[in-house]
Amino acid sequence: MSNPLLSSAELPPFQSITAKHVAPAIDKILADNRVALQELLAKSGSSHDFISAYESITDRLNKAWSPVSHLHSVADSEALREVYLPTQAKLSAYYTELGQNQTLYKKVKGLVDDASFDSLSQAEKKLLENSVRDFHLSGVDLDGDKKQRYGEIVQRLSELGTHFGNNVLDATQAWEKHISDASQLVGLPDSALAAARQAAEQKDQEGYLFNLEYPSFFPVITYCDNRAFRQEIYQAYITRASDLFVEGDKWDNQGIMNEILDLRLELANLLGFESYAHYSLATKMADKPEEVSAFLNELAERSVSVAREEFQSLSDFARDTYQVEELAPWDVAYYSEKLRQQEYDLSQEALRPYFPLNDVLAGLFEIVSRLYGIEVKPEEEKVEAWHPDVKVFGIYEGGQKIARFYLDLYARANKKGGAWMGECRVRRRLSDNSIQLPVAYMVCNFNGPVGDQPALLTHNEVTTLFHEFGHGLHHMLTQVDCAGVSGINGVPWDAVELPSQFLENWCWHPEAINLFAKHYQTGEALPQPMLEKLLAAKNFQSGMQMVRQLEFALFDFVLHSTWKQPGVSVQGVLDEVRQKVSVLPIADFNRFQCGFSHIFAGGYAAGYYSYKWAEVLSADAFSRFEEEGIFNTQTGADFKQYILEKGGSETPQVLFEAFRGRAPDVSALLRHSGLA
């Protein structure tokens, strides 16, 4: 029987892949690659041929691993988890070995120093330069013992990250609340009630079932009049994977966090960096920790007093209107929603009927078609996916298919929460000169259709969909031929959110919204008064929103800048940062950090500031559309040409200036956030 992970098919044969295929396939490819690399290094040939051959080796491994790590995220199982960790460890060892391979390093360095370097394409040059940098960051210069220690650290960090994420997922799934009496649920919107009823039915229960997945948690904390239930679900949510988690401490992430931070610092020191923050910035657009701190502090100065005033108005409102003397953490979202309704007479829920998923998708595709001259169509041929709900689309330009993507939008068991874009196939030029087309996974966690009613989104969810599709376009519209710098590859983390946050802007313009906001039963457009309220409410509590993001960003950055200095602890840093920028009440049992997967299980360590950093770029890029028209085809074509197509083949500074005609400026972000 052949192994589906070794298949040379264009797309992964998802229906045939099982956990038992993982280890044999990866073992085989790693062994093949080691031999192929030796042969390649022994051969002479042009720089171009070397790069192409080297990328083929790497790409084969990526193409086999991508569906495995994707399934681990969207269709996890005991069996898969069992093979996932040990296989991931082998990969981590392999990449360490590559990063420290002296012969390979000398070869690449030789290509950079060679006279032929100037004749290479911009992408090839950037790829080689990045590689030299990354060899140093992988410890190629270290002596024997230190080299080995480096490998151990990287391997252990990779395990710890996976453990951290698993603990969050397991804790999230461990808690359930069954409520049989609807009178306990007054205030909850119909959509949330229906989803909770469906969740109960799926487990052959009467009544309503709630869990800690965001689509279940969010409506309760925002709308449920029952304060005791809000408190209960909040406490469970905010203590997930901690010592205080209501279902027990067996998923406690605190030991893991300390070990991760110790090892990150050791790693940074080993490579000659003062802190992990310094190490992190070696591959980012920001140069120095001081630059990041100054940036975050400037935003804090602009927003903390606004946030404080907003929280004061919220407190006054709750006291005057509802006789609530002091807002508890589980009251903030609830009374904020009431205040929003009073000020703007508009709830997220009231908008849902106007955002049926299929119309939103059609509108999104229409918008990108106008902007970039592309066409998005459902794939005609049957493509295997991992779940019946998944759909597959093609992107066409001038009648030619240039990319494909899987769309997996609904929350379900054994699927990680949140929304993201993942790479299935990366664009690159093959040795026969043909192009491997990029393929993306687009993943969200919306509530699916309930009975005859189609999936209906809130405006926030619409924005999430646009955001992820922005990442998707960055991956799929690239014209770069080297996988290592095509699409989002090689793009510094603090610039990678540019295309995603950028596309969100079209969720906030009547001209664009009117393309997709249609009542799911009547087909009626979003009534003008509702539209106006939606837009007016955009900056509701924008100061509070800003300081919340700054709290996360500062916590992450300070933690990774000061770890192991006398007196520094995870909780201590968080408390200090909150002292400075938070305006909200904090419960004693708050263990937010234990579920902060972005920095402990994802790639955002000493990099969470990237969201705001990139938002400066995205807001400023969009301001050109504000000046020239949001559907201006020339402006769209320029954005596509200078940003989306170029991927990581140039620095973000160069690309941004090419598009905008000048360096980025923070004022558009402040204006868009109502903080100017």
Q: Please, what is the minimum distance in Å from the beta carbon of residue 481 to Zn ion? A: 25
The percent helix, strand, coil of the chain (3-state, each to 5) is: 60, 10, 30
Span of 271-279, 451-459, 473-481, 490-498 interacting with Zn ion by CB under 5 A: 490-498
Residue with the CB atom nearest Zn ion in the bound state: 500
Look up 291 and say whether it is catalytic. no
Query: CB 132: neighbour CB atoms within 10 A?
Result: 15
Please compute Rg for the chain using Cα positions. Answer: 25
Span of 297-305, 365-373, 499-507, 544-552 interacting with Zn ion by CB under 5 A: 499-507
Contacts of 491 (CB under 8 A, 6+ apart): 474, 647, 648, 652
Q: Please, what is the minimum distance in Å from the beta carbon of residue 496 to Zn ion? A: 7
* E strand spans, 496-611: none
- CA 540 to chain CA centroid, Å, is 24
Give the whole-angstrom CA distance, residue 530 versus residue 112: 58
Residue numbers 402-421 binding Zn ion by CB under 5 A: none
One-letter amino acid for residue 394 of the chain: G
Angle at which helix 214-223 crosses helix 227-238, to 10 degrees, equals: 140
Contacts of 286 (CB under 8 A, 6+ apart): 292, 295, 494, 609, 613
Phi, psi angle pair for 176, to nearest 5°: -145, 150
Query: By CB under 5 A, is residue 618 in contact with Zn ion?
Result: no
Query: 406 and 14 in contact (C-beta within 8 Å)?
Result: no
Query: CB 38: neighbour CB atoms within 10 A?
Result: 12
Complex with Zn ion: residue 74 or 383, whichever CB lies closer: 74
CA-nearest of 643, 379, 390 to 503 is 643
Query: 667 and 535 in contact (C-beta within 8 Å)?
Result: no
Q: Please, what is the minimum distance in Å from the beta carbon of residue 467 to Zn ion? A: 6
Span of 444-452, 493-501, 571-579, 620-628 interacting with Zn ion by CB under 5 A: 493-501
Q: Please, what is the minimum distance in Å from the beta carbon of residue 301 to Zn ion? A: 26
Complex with Zn ion: residue 3 or 545, whichever CB lies closer: 545
Task: At 198, list the tokens.
Answer: 């469906």
Helix (H, G, I), strand (E, B) or coil at 230: helix
H or E stretch at 404: strand 400-410
CA-nearest of 269, 243, 240 to 255 is 243
Task: At 411, list the tokens.
Answer: 């929350």
**Which one of 130, 447, 500, 542 is in contact with Zn ion (CB under 5 A)?**
500
Complex with Zn ion: residue 519 or 598, whichever CB lies closer: 598
Complex with Zn ion: residue 164 or 502, whichever CB lies closer: 502
Q: Please, what is the minimum distance in Å from the beta carbon of residue 471 to Zn ion? A: 6
Complex with Zn ion: residue 127 or 440, whichever CB lies closer: 440
Complex with Zn ion: residue 88 or 464, whichever CB lies closer: 464
Span of 133-141, 478-486, 495-503, 566-574 interacting with Zn ion by CB under 5 A: 495-503
Give the whole-angstrom CA distance, residue 230 versus residue 184: 11
Q: Please, what is the minimum distance in Å from the beta carbon of residue 537 to Zn ion? A: 23
Complex with Zn ion: residue 499 or 636, whichever CB lies closer: 499
∠ CA 404-614-59, rounded to 5°: 35
The mark string for 266-305 relative to Zn ion (x by CB under 5 A, - otherwise) is ----------------------------------------
Give the whole-angstrom CA distance, residue 406 versus residue 391: 6
The mark string for 444-483 relative to Zn ion (x by CB under 5 A, - otherwise) is ----------------------------------------
Q: Please, what is the minimum distance in Å from the beta carbon of residue 112 to Zn ion? A: 32
Span of 39-47, 106-114, 396-404, 489-497 interacting with Zn ion by CB under 5 A: 489-497
Span of 57-65, 175-183, 345-353, 491-499 interacting with Zn ion by CB under 5 A: 491-499
Q: Please, what is the minimum distance in Å from the beta carbon of residue 592 to Zn ion? A: 20
Complex with Zn ion: residue 242 or 500, whichever CB lies closer: 500
Question: Which one is catalytic: 337, 468, 551, 650?
Answer: 468
Helix (H, G, I), strand (E, B) or coil at 591: coil
- CA 392 to chain CA centroid, Å, is 21
Task: Give residues in contact with Zn ion (CB under 5 A).
Answer: 497, 500
Which residues are annotated as catalytic?
468
